[in-house]
Amino acid sequence: MALRVLQAVAAVAVLCRFPVTLTRAGDKSEGTPGQSYVAAVYEHRVILNPEPHVPLSRAAALKHMMSNLDVYEEQAARAAEQGAQIIVFPEDGLQGFNFSRLSIFAYLETIPDPQSEDWNPCTQTDRHTHTEVLQRLSCMARRHRLYLVANMADLQPCCQTSHPTCPPDGRWQFNTDVVFRRDGSLAARYHKHNLYFEKAFDAPPTLEVVTFDTPFAGRFGVFTCFDILFHDPTIRLLEQGVRQMVYPTAWMNQLPLLSAVQFQRAFSLGANTTLLAANIRADSLGMTGSGIFTPGTAIYHHARAGQPEEGRLLVLRIPVLDTAWLGTETRAKGQAGGEGEGEAGGEGEAGGEGEAGGETARGEGEAGGEGEAGGEGEAGGEGHAGGETARGEGEAGGEGHAGGEGEAGGETARGEGEAGGEGEGGGETARGEGEAGGETARGEGKAGGETAYTRSTKPLSGQREGNSGFCLQESQHCQEDSLSTSPPAFSASSPSPPAFSPSSPFPFTSSMMYDPFSFLLLSGSEGQLTVCDGPFCCHLHYRRSPQGGNTELYALGAFSGTHTVNGRYNVQVCALVRCLGSEVSSCGQEVEEAESRVDFLLEGEFGTRHVYPSLLGSGMVLEQPDQVKTTADGRVAMEHSGMTVGLVTACLYGRVYDQD
């Protein structure tokens, strides 16, 4: 569980009643068969143990977890009805949180390592005892023909003589993600590396870099909650070329820079990845915010304060980003008449799911072990050595379900979520999202620095004209690799913003996210500013349009250094923020609403290539930047104009991992 303060806080007010979809303009209305898939995430209102510090019997703990699993079952069925091929549930979703090491004991199950054995808990119930939760999840995946990702508590016995880091009670207790294939077999197990005030759990003695392979989209990486802010395992996955991530989380929103959907979106853009993010809904802790994010499109939900405290299912058709899989699938299609296409109604033939053992082995073996035969031959091992062909081929009729998917993109946000359900009525959540697999595939290996997100003309699901699109520098539609030093083109007739002058406000220091930011106030309706924190500098060109004569205060902030509260990590941040009040001391405090529209070009000179751009509007509305550009010398610029709502935060959040 990450970004949880030590005491409960009020829930954050949020965007709108229904989930919002950001779509990439200029896409085909329906993905090429085999180049897109349907993903689902579920934001779960966890049924809590009212006394988590009190130890329970195993029977009582099972009864508690089964009540949450009953909800999972309902949502897995709903997702499958809408054509989903993979579903992600949140961190801590089965038991909740705030346990002690002793009180969580009855919730633990020993999860076998899929690298070491092939096991289907649903069909091989007698192989391991006390695995009722694993069996329930396995059968859920099998029943609904889904790849299923869930989080649970794992117990692994250890001995101090052979493992010096073994706890005194002779067992490791891990916060664990498990992945099941659609036949119910266990595909992957990941122990969370970066714990966040989790007294019940141990950090794993060795780093785990875990992936799993699917027959419909290729390879996915796995990490959990607080991991997203750290190099290991997240950046290691990216360095291995993984561009599709499943992300169970229990994240408490921290404005103005680290609300859940804000940073999920920023990570997807900055790392050029797909992120399937499932969060907890817990108003007493300010937890909400889930989404399905690709570099070019997104659907997300952030609950409004005062709304019924309930779960939310999101479903979306998105492009495949695994270029190796896409290439293999193309080759496979040229092979004898549909050996996998016959999956027809039966994705489950033993072999298709049977990438078994090897999928996890490839990822966990960090660069090098990838592709070992491992146990791939499970269930006869059909298709392996050619496992890739088997993986890719057979989506056949399976991906095309919910016939409405791919129709006019703008209808996505409007239709979903009514009557409590995103995308009820079949393909509504998936409509328009099939952004032609290749668009994201074009750039996925880019190691961070050479991408540009550029404006195109299709509106954001009917919200506004001028949605941004995605392309890479090698595309003829991308911007030049050097950053413009001129202000953004707000309109052809507008005068250029005035240069910074000594009469502009003087810098001041104010705390934001517990860090001492250097700030400069924006003055007047337009201008340009530079603010520095030591040698790290941020630059801003802006033009703002106050609505209704408001006197909202805005400031440009810069910080470079080590964040030390509720986690220790090094950051470089440029942020344009709305201040809470009329005093400079209010700059950097939590703000949820704003009225002023601000057109801007925000630029920073970073000492890292890992920079995550976010653009947050009033009511937790995410907007897609018109452009995000980077250069080889570390400059990153984000440009945007024509906001649909007032600006809360525009941020370039750099992580300097080697300084942690």
H helices present in 275-357, as ranges: 323-333, 350-353
Scanning the structure block, which residue is given the tokens 């561009």?
A: 243
Query: For residue 471, what are the β-bridge partners?
Result: 452
Q: At what angle do helices 132-144 and 58-81 cross, to 10 degrees?
A: 10
Is the CB of residue 612 less than 8 Å from the CB of residue 653?
yes
Kind of pairing between the strands at 211-214 and 635-640? unpaired
Catalytic one of 109, 166, 192, 376: 192
**Residue 471 bears catalytic tag:** no
Residue 511: CB atoms within 10 Å: 13
- 3-class secondary structure for 68-99? HHHHHHHHHHHHHHCCCCEEECCCCCCCCCCC
Answer yes or no: 225 catalytic. yes
CA 458, CA 600: separation in Å to the nearest integer?
21
Q: Give residue 48's Cα distance to chain centre.
A: 24
Q: DSSP characters for 203-272?
A: --SS----EEEETTTEEEEE--GGGGGSSTTHHHHHHTT--EEEEE--BB-BTTTB-HHHHHHHHHHHHT
Put residue 85 in one of left, alpha, beta given phi > 0 → left and psi -120 to 50 → alpha: alpha
| DSSP codes joined into one string, 355-412 | TTTHHHHHHHTTTTSTT--TTTTTGGGTT-SSHHHHHHHTTHHHHT-STTTTS-GGGH
Q: Which entry of 43, 91, 109, 388 is annotated as an active-site residue?
A: 91
Report whether the peptide linkage leading into residue 256 is cis, meaning its omega lies within 30 degrees of zero. yes
Task: Check if the beta carbon of residue 325 is closer than 8 Å to that of residue 214.
Answer: no
Tokens found for residue 638? 């984000």
Is 91 annotated as catalytic? yes
Cα separation, 193 vs 214, whole angstroms: 24
> How many angstroms separate the CA atoms of 456 and 468, rounded?
5
Instruction: Measure the CA–CA gap between 402 and 294, rounded to whole angstroms.
Output: 21
Given the residues 225, 471, 478, 538, the one annotated as active site: 225
- What are the residue numbers of the active site? 91, 192, 225
